[in-house]
Amino acid sequence: MRTAFWSLARAAGTITLMKRDSTNISATDAAPRDGLTSESLAAFRRKVLSLGAELYRDLPWRRTRDPYEIWLSEVMLQQTQVSRVDGRWQRWLERFPSVDALAAADAADVLEEWQGMGYNRRALSLLRAAQEVSETGGGMPSDFDRLVALPGIGPATAAGIRAFAFDLPGVYLETNVRTVFLHELYPEAERVPDRELVPLVEACCPADAHDPADDPRTWYYALLDYGAWLKKTVPNPSRRSATHVRQARFEGSHRQKRAELLRVLLAHRGEPVSLEVLVAELSAVELEAGRAEVSAGDVADLVQELEREGFCRADGAGWVA
C-alpha cells in the first residue's frame, strides 16, 4: 500500500510543502490536516509565538545563555517535572558552578547531589561529558555533531543547547514541542511517527537570530510553554504520537530497587558495605513500603549491575560508592 506523507523545505526565506509517496509508511500514519500550506504554517507560527508570549514562564534557566547551565537544565528536565527541577538546578550550580568544577568532582559527590531526580545514569553521563569537555578547554561546543558525541547528549538535548545557549536553529523535538505540532497540525490523527514531525519542526524553526522576537530561542520557548499549557487543558495530544509509551510503575520496580540500593551505598560513603548489610538495609526500605524483603541473590545481582555501570566498585568483601 502506498501512503502519502509530507516534507518541507526552506528556500529564499519561504516554506515549501511537498507531497511524496513511500512504500515504507504504515497504514496508520496520517498526513497533517487538510489544506496545510506555507500560508497555514505561517499562521501556525504566528499563533504559537503569540500564545508563547502570553504563556511565557520565567524559569531560572531562561535567565542565562551559559551553555553549561542550559545543558544541565535540559538533562534535569528529561522526564522530570519543572517544579522538581526548580531549586535542584540552582543547588547543583552552587556545588558545581562550571564544567571544570563538575569534571573535577568525585562520582559519589555527583550521585549524592543527584539523588531524588531519578535516572541516576544521567548524573554519571553529566560527569563523563564534563570531563571530556574540560579536557578540551572547558568550553561547551555549539556544533551539533560534537555535542551528540558527548556522553548522554542526544539529538533533542543538543538542539536545546544550540537553541537556548547559542540561538542556532535545529530540530528540538521534545514532549511539549511534539504536543503542539500534534494538537495544531494533526488534530485527528493517531500513531503519528516522529519522521512525519521532524521536517515540520525543522521548517518552522527560524533560520537565524536576526529577529529577537522570532529567533530559535524565542520560538522553542513559545512551543514549550504552549505545549505545557495544552497538557493541562486538553487530553494530552502527545499520546497520539507513535513514540508514546505508558510509563511503567516505579514503586516496587527493578529501577526503584536499584535507586534505593545506590542510596544505601552513598549513605556508607568511603567504607565497603557487605552483601549482608546491603540486604538488611534494602529489605528494611522494602518492608517499610509494605513490600516483601529482598533476597541475597537479588541484591547481589543489583549491586553487580551497579558496579558494571560505574556507580560503585568492589572493595574486599563489599562495595564502595
Distance CA 140, CA 196 (A): 31
Choosing from 69, 74, 184, 196, the catalytic residue is 74
Domain spans in the chain, listed from the N-terminal domain onward: 28-57+169-240, 60-166, 254-320
* b/e sequence 70-85, b meaning 16+ C-beta within 10 Å: bbbbbbbbbebeeeeb
Same fold, 60-166 and 254-320: no
pLDDT at residue 18 in the model: 44
Q: Select from 2.60.40.60, 3.30.420.80, 1.10.340.30, 1.10.10.10 the CATH code of 60-166.
A: 1.10.340.30
pLDDT of residue 26: 31
Specify whether 74 is catalytic.
Answer: yes
Predicted pLDDT at 34: 54
Task: Give the residue carrying C-alpha cell 557487605.
Answer: 274
CATH of 254-320, one of 3.40.50.1100, 3.30.70.260, 1.10.1060.10, 1.10.10.10: 1.10.10.10
* pLDDT given for residue 248 in this prediction: 63
The segments of the chain whose pLDDT lies below 50 read: 1-31
Q: What is the pLDDT of residues 224-281, one digit of tens each?
A: 999 999 999 998 888 888 887 666 677 889 999 999 999 999 999 889 999 999 999 9
Give the pLDDT confidence score for residue 31 in this predicted structure.
47
Instruction: Provide the pLDDT for residue 240.
Output: 87
pLDDT, position 189:
83
